[in-house]
Amino acid sequence: MKQSALFTKTRKEAPTDEVAENAKLLIRAGYIHKEMAGVYSFLPLGVRVMNNIAKIIREEMNALGGVELHLTALQDREVWEKSGRWSDEVVDNWFKTKLKSGTEVGLGFTQEEPLTRILSEYINSYKDLPKYVYQIQTKFRNEARAKSGILRGREFLMKDLYSFSRTDKEHEDFYERSKTAYTNVFTRAGIGEKTYLTYASGGTFSKYSHEFQTLTSAGEDIIHICDVCHVAVNEEISKDVSSCPVCSGALSRTEKAVEVGNIFSLGTKYASVLGLSYTGEDGEKKPVVMGSYGIGLGRLMGTIVEVFADEKGIVWPESVAPFRVHLISIVGANGEVVKKEADALYETLTQKGIEVLYDDRDLRPGEKFADSDLIGVPTRVVISEKTIAQGKLEVKDRKTGTVSMLSQSELFQDLQ
């Protein structure tokens, strides 16, 4: 994409109504726009990052055997009353509204109820199970207090997968596999080393649930880490769990972290109250055993910003970066020659399937460099009179700052 096609502009100064580093940088660089407290629009650059995150998640969920669907945001009161979760006393962060007829509807904050109802129309026999269903969809939560930029909003994109199994054993097997899939997601998104499988309170159906917690000072949670097993225990259960649940060793350090994902066993609660059952080989009807598995896409994006950003701006891992290469032309007195070279390289890279942001704007070099650092594309390639004279390209790594002079073929090789 040519940068001149973007309508967004970078800003030198951070907005005063944001304290969170992720929001400051993402707004300054033109990835997001704040509509209201806790409500952010995603601008063209932001959408590209979100799409990359979604792609990783889809691939891992599909590999798990998941099938994607898309449920409605508008929620039918009736199905939620059956599960006991319609009442504001039970769930205090519902957004509710009314149809013209006066009928109350909700805006979904999760989707166990409607999905269970849908499945109950199709699942009859043990032969129909297990099934794994997911979506990437907008969730609404009427948080009393939005905070931390895009880490905790009132409207946000979330991947939610639901598992439907015949037995506890079958559920447990999938639950374990989902841990691996989640680990893959966070590794591919670049934050694997900083992300810990964390034991947290389980609710009614299992002793623990599991969270994926990424170390950052921007986090709201406190976790107790076992460095031997690379797992952690959430502060909320540290009274009951004082040693590593895996090796029984000591939990050696305490850190702030943000919950980028969670997985939860639901037992047969929803299946029972919503009539989702199957007939077993023995001819008996049994309720389906469920689990739910969430990842907040915006929160993941914000966490990546928090983890990698430096004093100059955002630093994206290649896997989620809006572009692979930021091509910058420095157009001086001999502008036509430089422009021609840069145009040609842009074409070549694009034809090779490499995503390029081409800064074709007529600006001074300093401004282009500053923008490039702020936007955070992994590899910066500069073409100027200087580089043309040398017959090379100046290639800079955003993360390390390493600059090297490469030929075109060397650059292509590096990018493969």
Partner RNA sequence: CGGGGCGUAGUGUAACGGUAGCAUUCAUGCUUUGGGAGCAUGCGGUCCGAGUUCAAAUCUCGGCGCCCCGACCA
The contact set with RNA (CB under 7 A) reads: 9-20, 28, 36-38, 85, 91-93, 109-110, 141, 143-148, 152, 203, 220, 264, 312, 330-333, 364-367, 369-374, 382, 384-387, 394, 396
Cβ atoms of 54 and 88 within 8 Å: the answer is no
Pairing mode of beta strands 379-383, 155-165:
unpaired
Least distance from RNA to the Cβ atom of residue 353, Å: 26
Cβ atoms of 145 and 154 within 8 Å: the answer is no
Least distance from RNA to the Cβ atom of residue 363, Å: 7
Strands of 325-377, DSSP E:
325-329, 356-359
Least distance from RNA to the Cβ atom of residue 340, Å: 15
Least distance from RNA to the Cβ atom of residue 200, Å: 9
Region of 267 (left: φ > 0; alpha: ψ -120 to 50; beta: rest) is left
Considering the complex, state which of residue 75 and residue 195 has its C-beta at the smaller distance from RNA: 75
Strand order in the sheet with 95-98: 74-76, 104-107, 95-98
CA torsion sign for 164, 170, 171, 175 is negative
Nearest Cα neighbor of 416 from 316, 324, 345 is 324
Considering the complex, state which of residue 64 and residue 330 has its C-beta at the smaller distance from RNA: 330
Helix axes 44-63, 168-188, angle to 10 degrees: 140
Nearest Cα neighbor of 46 from 25, 32, 66, 62 is 32
Least distance from RNA to the Cβ atom of residue 248, Å: 27
Backbone angles phi, psi at 244, to 5 degrees: -60, 125
Considering the complex, state which of residue 152 and residue 188 has its C-beta at the smaller distance from RNA: 152
Using CA atoms, how far apart are residues 127 and 166, in angstroms rounded to an integer?
Answer: 10
Least distance from RNA to the Cβ atom of residue 10, Å: 4
Least distance from RNA to the Cβ atom of residue 8, Å: 11
Considering the complex, state which of residue 353 and residue 366 has its C-beta at the smaller distance from RNA: 366
Considering the complex, state which of residue 134 and residue 264 has its C-beta at the smaller distance from RNA: 264
Using CA atoms, how far apart are residues 209 and 253, in angstroms rounded to an integer?
Answer: 21
Considering the complex, state which of residue 256 and residue 286 has its C-beta at the smaller distance from RNA: 256
Considering the complex, state which of residue 148 and residue 198 has its C-beta at the smaller distance from RNA: 148
